Amino acid sequence: MFPFIYEFQWTPYHVVFLGLFFSVVGVILSAVSLALLRAFKTLRRRRHEAVQWEAEFEDLPVAARTCRHQIAGEVAHRTCNHEFDCRTCQAHQAFLAKLSPELAPAGTQESVFGFSLPLDRYYHRGHTWVTYDGDGIYTVGLDDFGNRMIGTPDSVELPAVGATLSANGSGWLIKKGRAALRILAPIDGVVVETGSAKDGWYLKVHGGEPEVETRHLLRGEEIKPWILRELERLQGAVSPAGVGMTLADGGELVPDMSKHAPHVDWDGVWGEMFLQA
Amino acid sequence: MDQQFIPRGLQRTSFTRFVTWILPWILLLGIGIYAMYLCLADGLYHTNMDNRFAFGLWIYLDLTIIALGAGAFFTGFLLYILRRDELKAVINSAVVLGLICYSGAVLVLMVDVGQPLRAWFTFWHPNTHSMLAEVTFCLTCYLTVLVIEYLPVVLKNRKLRQIPRFLVFEFELHKVMPVFAGVGTFLSFFHQGSLGGLYGVLVGRPFSFREVLGIWPSTFYLFIISAAAAGPSFVLLTTWLVQKLSGKKVVKPEVMQFLGKVSGWMLIVYVLLKAIDTLYWINHTVPAEGGLAYSFYTSQGFGTWILFAEIVFLGLVPALVLLSKRMREKSAVLVGAAILVCCGIVMNRFVMTIQTLALPTLPFDLLMSYVPSWQEVATFMAVVAYGVLVYSLSFRYMTLFPQERDMRQ
C-alpha cells in the first residue's frame, strides 16, 4: 500500500491503482471536511436559524411555496425559490414594477371569509402580522387565522427582551398537546417588549426602515386571495389521506379547531400551515 | 409512544403494530448472527462449499444485491450530475437501499472470507493484478460514500434536526452531495465492472471466459450496464412495495414511470450487447478453445432455456415494455416489467456464479452439485432481515419520500 511496505513495487499497476485509490479517499475526506468547516462557520456566526428556514422551506409541500404573485393572480404559476424573502428577489421587483399592490388606508377593518384581518397590517405567510408604530418600533402578533387554528395554547415561550430576531427565523414557541410550534418571526429586529394573547400582540421589535423591512410581507389586496388559498390548504391538510378536499364549502372557521375535530393529526396540520417541515 | 420521532405530517402505523412487524425479522436476524458466529468461530466447514465449489450462496447473494443496490449510484448520478430533479422523490429511498445492499454484501463477505481480524491485509498488501483487490477497495470506499449519503437522511429526523449542530452539518453535507454522487458513480463503474471481469478472466472456466475488449473482458462492461438497468427497477419495485404495505401513495406516478423508462433504455442496450457477446462467444471464443458452446447446455437442469429466459424473457421483453409510454402508464404492467428486470439480474448472477462453477471443465469431470448448509441459508436470510429492519426503521422515522406529504392530498 505504501512504498515502505515490503511488497510494494514501483510498477504502473501499483502506482495507477493506489494513486486512484488515494485520490478517491482524498476527495471523500475533502468533501466531508468542507462540509464540517462550513457548518462550523455557520454556527459561529449564529446563522443556524437562517439555515433552518432554508432547509425547511425546501421540504415544504409545493402548495405552501406558491409565490405571492401567483396568489394575487399576476402570474399563472410560480413557486417561490427565494424562501419567501422578497426583499432581495429580482422577480418580485419586476412584478412590482408592473403592478404594485396598493396598501389599504390605515385602520380599515376587513372581514375576509369571516376572519378579522385589518388591512393596515402586514402579514407574514406563517400567519403573523406586523404594524409599524413609528421610531423603528414594530408590533408583532398572530393573525386571526392562526389564532383560530390553535385556539388557546397550553404554553407560550416568548424570546427575552434584547433577543435578536431574523425574518423567517424563530419568533416564539407555542405548545399545545404534543405539538411544539415554532412561530416564524415576520421581520428582522431586536425584541424590546413582550406581550401575550390577551394583549392581542406578542412582541414589540425594533427594526429598520419599514419600506425595506416589510417588503416581503403581504398587504392590501393580496390578503383576500392568500386567505382563500390558506383555507384550501387547511381543507386539504385536515381531510383524510388520499381522499382530498371533502369539507363542505362556505361557513366560517370556528375558534380552536382542534377541539372540534380531535381525530385530526393537528401536529401535522399546524406544522403545514405554520410552514414547518 | 414514538410519535415525536415520526416526521411531521406523515402518518405511520401504531407502535404496537410496528413492533409486531419487526419482531419476526429480528428473530431471523438473531438466527443468522448465530450462524455467522459458528462460521467465524469454528471455520467454514459449517458451509457446504469446498475447494472446487468455492463460490456458493453467499457470493451469489453478494453479486445480486450489489447489482440491485446500483439504484443508489445511478439515481444519484441522474439527479446530481444530469440534474433530473424528479428523482429527488426517490433518492433517499435509493440511498437506503444502496446502503443495505452494500453493507449486507460486505457483512457476508467478511463471513465468507473468514479471519475478519486480518481484513486489513487486503489493503496493506494489495494484489493489484487481481480483480478482487479492486472490488475490495471500491466496495469499501463506496460503502463509506453511502454512509455519508445516508447521514443527512438520518440527521433530518424530526428530533435530531432540533439540534443546531446536526441541522447545519446536514445542510452543508447536502450541498456537497454532487461530489459524493460523482465519486459513487466512479467507484460503482469499477467495482460493478470488476465483479463481471472476475468471471471473464477465468481461463479455466470456458463457460464464463470472455475475450478482452480494451483492457477488460466483455463481462466487465456487461455487469456495469446490467446493474445500471436493474438498479432503477429495484427502486421502482421497492417503492411500489412500500405503497402496497403502507397503504399510502408516496411518489407521483410520473416518477415511477421515469424510473421504468431509464431502466428500459439501459436494459435494451444491455440486451443488445449481451446478444452480440453471446453470439461472439458461441461462434468464436469457444470454438477457438476447441469446444462447442452447445455442450455447456446439455447438463441436467442447465439447458438452453436458461439462455432464452435470461436474454429474451427477462431481458428483451421487459425492455420493450418499459420503452413503451403507453405500457409504462399502466401501473400493473410497469411493476410487472420491473419484477422481470430484477428477476433477470438475479438469474444472470446465478448463471455467472453457480452455473460457471457447476459445469464440468475436464473430460472426466461431472456436473457438480451444491446445496447450501443451514448456516449459509441463515446468513443469507439474516441479510434479508437486516435489510427489512433498516428500511422499516428508516421509513418510519425519516423522510424517505419527500413527495409523501404532498401525496396525502
| pLDDT beyond 70 at A250 | no
Domain shared by A191 and A171, yes or no: yes
Share of chain A above pLDDT 70, in %: 92
Domain shared by A16 and A122, yes or no: no
| pLDDT beyond 70 at A252 | yes
Q: How far is B206 from chain A (nearest CA, A)?
A: 27
Q: At what angle do helices B331-350 and B57-68 cross, to 10 degrees?
A: 140
Q: Where are the beta strands (DSSP E) in B199-342?
A: 212-213, 216-217
Cβ-contact B397, B6 below 8 angstroms: yes
Q: Which of B202, B67, B186 is nearest to B131 (CA)?
A: B202
Burial code (b: 16+ CB inside 10 Å, e: under 16) for B185-213 equals bbbbbbbbbbbbbbbbbbeeebbbbbeee
Nearest Cβ partner for B168 among A39, A63, A242:
A39
Is B183 an interface residue toward A (CB < 8 Å)? yes
B9·A14 Cβ contact <8 A = no
Is B215 an interface residue toward A (CB < 8 Å)? no
- CB contacts, 8 Å: A62 with chain B: 406
Domain shared by A261 and A140, yes or no: yes
| Separation CA A151–CA B17 (nearest Å) | 33
Number of domains in chain A: 2
* Cell numbers for B273: 450487447
Give the structural domain span for A7.
1-45
Q: How far is B43 from chain A (nearest CA, A)?
A: 28
Domain shared by A33 and A56, yes or no: no
In tens digits, chain B (409 residues) has pLDDT values of 788 899 988 889 999 999 999 999 999 999 999 999 999 999 999 999 988 888 899 999 999 999 999 999 999 999 999 999 999 999 999 999 999 999 999 999 999 988 878 888 888 888 888 888 888 999 999 999 999 999 999 999 999 998 999 999 999 999 999 999 999 999 999 999 999 999 999 988 889 999 888 889 999 999 999 999 999 999 999 999 999 999 889 999 999 999 999 999 999 999 999 999 999 999 999 999 888 999 889 887 888 999 999 999 999 999 999 999 999 999 999 999 999 999 999 999 999 998 998 888 887 888 888 899 999 999 999 999 999 999 999 999 999 999 888 887 6
Q: A83, A265, A269: which to substitute to probe chain B, counting the most B Cβ within 10 Å?
A: A265
A5·B125 Cβ contact <8 A = yes
Q: A9, A42, A65, A276: which to substitute to probe chain B, counting the most B Cβ within 10 Å?
A: A42
Q: In the prediction, which pLDDT does A109 show?
A: 63
Q: In the prediction, which pLDDT does B257 show?
A: 97
Cβ-contact A102, A256 below 8 angstroms: no
Q: A4, A11, A18, A27: which to substitute to probe chain B, counting the most B Cβ within 10 Å?
A: A27
Closest-CA residue of chain B to A243: B409
Domain shared by A37 and A90, yes or no: no
Closest-CA residue of chain B to A16: B128
B144·A28 Cβ contact <8 A = yes
- CB contacts, 8 Å: B145 with chain A: 28
Domain shared by A136 and A55, yes or no: yes
Nearest Cβ partner for A239 among B186, B248, B409:
B409
Q: How far is A101 from chain B (nearest CA, A)?
A: 30
Cβ-contact B73, B348 below 8 angstroms: no
Q: Distances from the Cα of A67 to the Cαs of A211, B180, B407, in angstroms?
A: 20, 33, 20
| pLDDT beyond 90 at A235 | no
| pLDDT beyond 60 at A100 | no
Q: In the prediction, which pLDDT does B300 show?
A: 78
Entry pTM: 0.91
Q: In the prediction, which pLDDT does B334 show?
A: 97
Domain shared by A128 and A21, yes or no: no
Number of domains in chain B: 1
B169·A36 Cβ contact <8 A = yes
Q: In the prediction, which pLDDT does B301 show?
A: 82
Closest-CA residue of chain B to A12: B128
- B 94-123 residues with CB < 8 A to A: 123
Domain shared by A39 and A56, yes or no: no
- CB contacts, 8 Å: B128 with chain A: 11, 13-14, 17-18
Q: In the prediction, which pLDDT does A104 show?
A: 47
Grid cell 383524510 is found at: A240
- DSSP category for residue A88: G
Amino acid at B217: P
Q: How far is B391 from chain A (nearest CA, A)?
A: 21
ipTM at complex level: 0.90
- Number of A–B residue contacts, CB under 8 Å: 118
pLDDT digits (tens, 9 = 90+) for A25-78: 999 999 999 999 999 999 999 888 899 999 889 888 888 899 999 998 889 999
Is B168 an interface residue toward A (CB < 8 Å)? yes
Amino acid at A124: H
A25·B129 Cβ contact <8 A = no
Domain shared by A22 and A114, yes or no: no
pLDDT digits (tens, 9 = 90+) for A108-155: 667 878 888 888 899 999 999 999 998 999 999 999 999 999 988 999
| pLDDT beyond 50 at A105 | no
Mean pLDDT taken over chain A: 87
Last residue of a domain, one of A30, A45, A60: A45
- Using DSSP's 3-state secondary structure scheme, residue B23 falls into helix
Length, in residues, of chain B: 409
Domain shared by A12 and A63, yes or no: no
| pLDDT beyond 80 at A277 | no
A268·B133 Cβ contact <8 A = no
- CB contacts, 8 Å: A51 with chain B: 167-168, 171
- Using DSSP's 3-state secondary structure scheme, residue B173 falls into helix
* Cell numbers for B139: 466496495
A28·B165 Cβ contact <8 A = no
- B 136-155 residues with CB < 8 A to A: 137, 141, 144-145, 148
Domain shared by A99 and A19, yes or no: no
Domain shared by A31 and A55, yes or no: no
Give the structural domain span for B185.
3-407
